[in-house]
């Protein structure tokens, strides 16, 4: 593969490509209508994998979802030139879920009615990726018998299934960072007490999110627009999955639009706040404030077009403490910032910044920051969440605790959501998006091995210390030359293998096929109750 193709498939350089299999994929015969349920089967890493996929409920995105590129240009307002990409979402695919296998797949039919798959199978911690067109046409399928499997060891015969193209299967990387930060309100006493009338919360709310991919993140997906869109859909389908644990109200994300930065200065609030011109570290306090000011001034997006704006970056965001910038930060956002425009201060607090390494590591931080924006503070907050200990390690803890609760919401967070959502200031979240036919969803988890997750954080010589149930709450990496033998980074990605026939799900090592069979789990029976404002998230506590 060329360097660009490697980056598009693996989001890394040649030197750090993880172990992978190239395998033929079988799918249900006569099921080439993407409105139908789909059965997918393949064999990778000596394991038979079967998925029973259903179209994802809700509209995460549609063919009408707008996608822009943005580039720096002094001849345009704000020094930025936006270009709408015609038909950017056309034929991008449709999102599917297999809840039993915690799989999120973006499925696309090409002109030959052959399937392409991109997504995550969390139950086995694997990523599935389509191959570049050049590899398919010039290498694998340059001769006759195009759809016959070339590697028979990777085929399990099934006469009811037909073959599509070969795909790449590899494992998911982990996040090296540990903490989330909450951004303090400019005037908290005024904001907290002036909540206005209470409303009955609708059965479903629809946060509409403007996704801004900065140039550093764009580089991770090979600087290819289609690859970037597929990655964004997969990533935010994974975030959306965390909110599907909530049932009263249901929370269903919608991508209002996607902005892809073609150069560093296209997100000047990030670029101007690098510690040094060539540094990868960014003062996120300043960057978030400047982002909030910018989106207030930016009139090319009409008021009401989106409820929340999130910048995705590969840069190392940090918080200044005296003369030191603490780079443990994973994300930063305003508490209760959704829907919020402050005309008196000429700023908009519906903003957040999330760090991601291109391997879906930013999914939990993104879920956390959205939690702040729709009303939650950190668990253990002395004023707003005293009944929930920060040491319990739920999603809204201030640090990644690497335990089973890290995939769930605490009672304090649920109460905070309900309180915020019942107030006048949250009413923009009540609008149901009308975006046309929904697109396929993609889940993270089955895409990268434990070793590869370590490599993404600590370099190509790193590898996982353990492969048992402990990785579901704490993935330790062996890093040659480090002072400690094993360094904890985060929980293994959902779907990571934690033994033969078992995988990580919601912080637990569970049997394949067992997902969602226990409907009496506390997070499904819990109801939102009234009881809720701006925060940051940090990297994992090493216990």
Report how far residue 487's alpha carbon sits from residue 382's, in angstroms, rounded to the nearest whole number: 31
Asked if 320 and 329 touch (Cβ cutoff 8 Å), the reply is no
Residue in 407, 357, 437, 362 with CA at minimum distance from that of residue 95:
437
Residues in the chain: 543
* DSSP class per residue in 278-335: T-SEEEHHHHHHHHHHHHHH-TTS-TTS-SEEEEEE-SEEEEEETTEEETTEEEEEET
What are phi and psi for residue 371, nearest 5 degrees?
Answer: -55, -45
Q: Which two tokens stand for residue 378?
A: 């950190």
Asked if 393 and 406 touch (Cβ cutoff 8 Å), the reply is yes
Q: Is 378 flagged in the annotation as binding? A: yes
Q: Which two tokens stand for residue 55?
A: 């179209």
Residues near 277 by Cβ (< 8 Å), separated by ≥ 6?
none
- Residue 211's Cβ-side half-sphere holds a number of Cα atoms within 13 Å equal to 28
Helix (H) or strand (E) holding 47: strand 47-55
Residue in 135, 130, 285, 295 with CA at minimum distance from that of residue 210:
295
**Candidates 369, 408, 423, 512; catalytic one:** 369
What are phi and psi for residue 140, nearest 5 degrees?
Answer: -75, -40
Residue in 19, 247, 24 with CA at minimum distance from that of residue 125:
19
Residue 208, classified by CB atoms within 10 Å of its CB into exposed (0-12), middle (13-18) or buried (19+), is buried
Report how far residue 20's alpha carbon sits from residue 492's, in angstroms, rounded to the nearest whole number: 18
Report how far residue 101's alpha carbon sits from residue 445's, in angstroms, rounded to the nearest whole number: 10
Residue in 269, 283, 220, 537 with CA at minimum distance from that of residue 395:
537
Angle at 218 between CA 117 and CA 437, to 5 degrees: 45
Whether the bond between 249 and the residue before it is cis, its omega within 30 degrees of 0, is yes
- SS3 of residue 2 by DSSP: coil
Q: Is 372 flagged in the annotation as binding? A: yes
Residue 349 annotated among the catalytic residues of the structure: no
- SS3 of residue 525 by DSSP: helix
Task: Calculate the dihedral angle through the C-alpha atoms of 263, 266, 267, 270, rounding to the nearest 10 degrees.
Answer: 50
Burial 95-133 (b: 16+ CB within 10 A, else e): bbbbbbbbbbbbbbbeeeebbbbbbbbbbbbbbbbbbbe
Residue 145, classified by CB atoms within 10 Å of its CB into exposed (0-12), middle (13-18) or buried (19+), is exposed
Alpha helices in 126-283 (DSSP H): 133-134, 188-193, 215-220, 225-243, 268-271
Which residue ranges are tagged as binding site for Zn(2+)? Answer: 368, 372, 378
Instruction: Detail the residues annotated as belonging to a binding site.
Output: 368, 372, 378
Residues with catalytic function: 369
């Amino acid at each position: 593969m060329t360097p660009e193709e490697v980056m598009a498939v693996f989001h890394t350089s040649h030197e750090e490509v993880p172990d992978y299999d190239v395998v033929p994929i079988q799918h249900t015969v006569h099921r080439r209508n993407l409105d139908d349920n789909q059965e997918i089967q393949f064999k990778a890493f000596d394991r038979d994998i079967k998925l029973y996929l259903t179209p994802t409920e809700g509209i995460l995105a549609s063919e009408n979802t707008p996608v822009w590129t943005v580039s720096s240009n002094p001849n345009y307002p704000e020094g930025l030139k936006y270009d709408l990409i015609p038909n950017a979402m056309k034929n991008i695919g449709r999102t599917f879920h297999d809840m039993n296998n915690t799989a999120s797949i973006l499925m696309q039919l090409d002109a030959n009615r052959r399937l392409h798959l991109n997504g995550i199978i969390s139950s086995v911690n694997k990523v599935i990726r389509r191959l570049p067109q050049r590899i398919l046409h010039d290498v694998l399928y340059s001769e006759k018998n195009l759809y016959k499997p070339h590697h028979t060891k990777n085929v399990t015969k099934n006469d009811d299934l037909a073959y599509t193209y070969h795909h790449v299967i590899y494992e998911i990387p982990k996040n090296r960072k540990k903490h989330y930060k909450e951004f303090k309100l400019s005037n908290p006493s005024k904001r907290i007490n002036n909540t206005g009338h209470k409303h009955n919360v609708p059965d479903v709310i629809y946060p509409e999110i403007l996704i801004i991919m900065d140039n550093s993140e764009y580089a991770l997906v090979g600087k290819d627009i289609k690859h970037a869109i597929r990655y964004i859909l997969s990533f935010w389908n994974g975030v959306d999955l965390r909110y599907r644990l909530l049932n009263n109200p249901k929370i269903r994300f919608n991508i209002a639009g996607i902005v892809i930065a073609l150069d560093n200065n296209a997100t000047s609030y990030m670029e101007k706040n690098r510690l040094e011109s060539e540094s990868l570290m960014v003062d996120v306090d300043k960057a978030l404030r400047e982002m909030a000011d910018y989106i207030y001034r930016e009139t090319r997006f009409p008021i009401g077009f989106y409820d929340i704006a999130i910048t995705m970056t590969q840069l190392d965001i940090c918080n200044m403490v005296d003369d030191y910038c603490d780079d443990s930060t994973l994300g930063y956002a305003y508490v209760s910032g959704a829907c919020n425009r402050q005309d008196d201060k000429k700023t908009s607090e519906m903003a957040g910044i999330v760090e991601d390494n291109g391997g879906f590591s930013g999914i939990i931080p993104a879920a956390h920051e959205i939690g702040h924006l729709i009303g939650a503070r950190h668990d253990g907050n002395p004023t707003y969440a005293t009944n929930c200990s920060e040491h319990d390690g739920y999603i809204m803890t201030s640090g990644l605790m690497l335990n089973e609760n890290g995939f769930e919401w605490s009672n304090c967070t649920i109460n905070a959501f309900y309180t915020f959502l019942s107030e006048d200031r949250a009413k923009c979240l009540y609008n149901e998006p009308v975006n046309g036919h929904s697109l396929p969803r993609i889940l993270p988890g089955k895409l990268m091995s434990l070793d590869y997750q370590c490599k993404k954080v600590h370099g190509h010589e790193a590898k996982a210390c353990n492969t048992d149930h402990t990785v579901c709450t704490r993935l330790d990496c062996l890093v040659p030359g480090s002072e400690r033998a094993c360094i904890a980074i985060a929980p293994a990605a959902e779907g990571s293998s934690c033994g033969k026939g078992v995988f990580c799900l919601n912080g637990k090592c569970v049997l394949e096929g067992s997902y969602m069979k226990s409907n009496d789990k506390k997070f499904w029976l819990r109801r939102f109750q009234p009881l809720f404002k701006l925060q940051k998230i940090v990297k994992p506590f090493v216990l």
